Each structure stands twice: as C-alpha cells, then as structure tokens.
C-alpha cells in the first residue's frame, strides 16, 4: 500500500472518529432516530430492551431502546472509565467517596445504585457491602 493511500485512510478514519465523537447523548424518553440491530439487549429489571452502542466525546455508551413504545430511550449505561459527570471521574471510585452513599438502593440481581444527580446513578456490584467497594458502571435512568 502506498504512503498516500495509507495517509488518506488515516485521515478518513480520524474524520469518522471525530464526527462520531460529535454525537449528542439522547435524553431519557427521546425517540431513537437511528437504526436498531437487535444484536444485543439490556436487561432492565423485568424487561429486556434492544441496545445501540454510541460514542459521545470518546465515551462508549449503551442505549436501551423500548421498541414497543415507539423507540423511546429507556436508559443509558456505561462502563467506560472516561465517563465524567460535572467534571468528576466516577468509575472505579470507592463507595465512601460518594456524597449520597447513604441513599444507595439495592435492586435484587442488579446491585447497588447510588444517586449522582437527578437521573445518573453509580452502580456497584450486588455484593458490594464495604466502603471500599468500587463503582463498576453508571446508569442514566428514572428509578
């Protein structure tokens, strides 16, 4: 492969990555406008929803879409360590560093959820009982 082709390929890849990073994270209840492959799903309590992978500002999100209700965004989930909320890193932080740790709720089979703000929750493993247990994911939902 020639150097020119290689450079053009790299530039196209960078452009695609840049445009993908420019996507906006949908809000809960928004109608999902993109395609839904149905290749993967997200178990949300008693229901299973098809998901879409989305990159916003280089952070990978999984968006669960309720196809039975007009493709509404049900919840958004991420295990990407680059996720930040209000400038703070969340994933990997121990439970005792969260100001709302006393408001943690246990959902059987899903784990502990600590509210971060109105819609975002820090998720801890279902047997995370110590203050040093670390956040394994974030979930945007209306629990």
Least confident span in 29-33, 110-114, 135-139: 110-114
| Mean pLDDT, rounded, of the chain | 84
How much of the chain is helix, strand and coil, in % rounded to 5?
20, 35, 45
Least confident span in 48-52, 130-134, 137-141: 130-134
Read off the pLDDT of residues 56-74 as tens digits, 9 standing for 90 and up. 999 999 999 999 999 999 9
Looking at the structure, tell me whether residues 29 and 62 fall in a common domain.
yes
Looking at the structure, tell me whether residues 72 and 85 fall in a common domain.
no
Burial level of 113, CB count in 10 A (0-12/13-18/19+)? buried
Contact 141, 119 (CB under 8 A): yes
How much is the pLDDT for 23? 85
Say whether pLDDT at 15 is over 60.
Answer: no
Distance between CA atoms of residues 100 and 143, nearest Å:
15
Distance between CA atoms of residues 114 and 52, nearest Å:
24
Give the chain's radius of gyration (CA, Å).
18
This prediction has a pTM of 0.79
How much is the pLDDT for 124? 94
How much is the pLDDT for 3? 52
Q: Give the mean pLDDT of 45-65.
A: 92
Q: Provide the residue count of the chain.
A: 143
Domain total of the chain? 2
Query: Is residue 18 included in any domain, yes or no?
Result: no
The secondary structure of 83-127 as a DSSP string is -EETTEE-TT-BGGG-TTGGG-EEETTTEEEEE-SSSEEEEE-TT
**Structural domain boundaries enclosing 101:** 79-143
Looking at the structure, tell me whether residues 71 and 94 fall in a common domain.
no
How much is the pLDDT for 129? 67
């Amino acid at each position: 492969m020639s150097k020119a082709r290689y450079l053009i390929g790299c530039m196209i890849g960078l452009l695609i990555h840049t445009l993908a990073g420019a996507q906006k994270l949908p809000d809960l209840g928004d109608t999902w406008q993109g395609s839904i492959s149905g290749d993967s799903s997200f178990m949300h309590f008693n229901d299973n929803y098809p998901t879409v992978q989305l990159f916003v500002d280089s952070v990978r999100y999984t968006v669960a879409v309720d196809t039975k209700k007009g493709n509404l965004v049900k919840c958004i989930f991420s295990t990407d360590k680059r996720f930040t909320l209000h400038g703070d890193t969340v994933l990997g932080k121990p439970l005792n560093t969260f100001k709302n740790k006393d408001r943690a709720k246990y959902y059987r089979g899903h784990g502990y959820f600590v509210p971060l703000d109105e819609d975002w929750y820090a998720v801890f493993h279902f047997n995370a009982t110590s203050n040093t247990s670390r956040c394994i994911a974030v979930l945007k939902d209306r629990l």
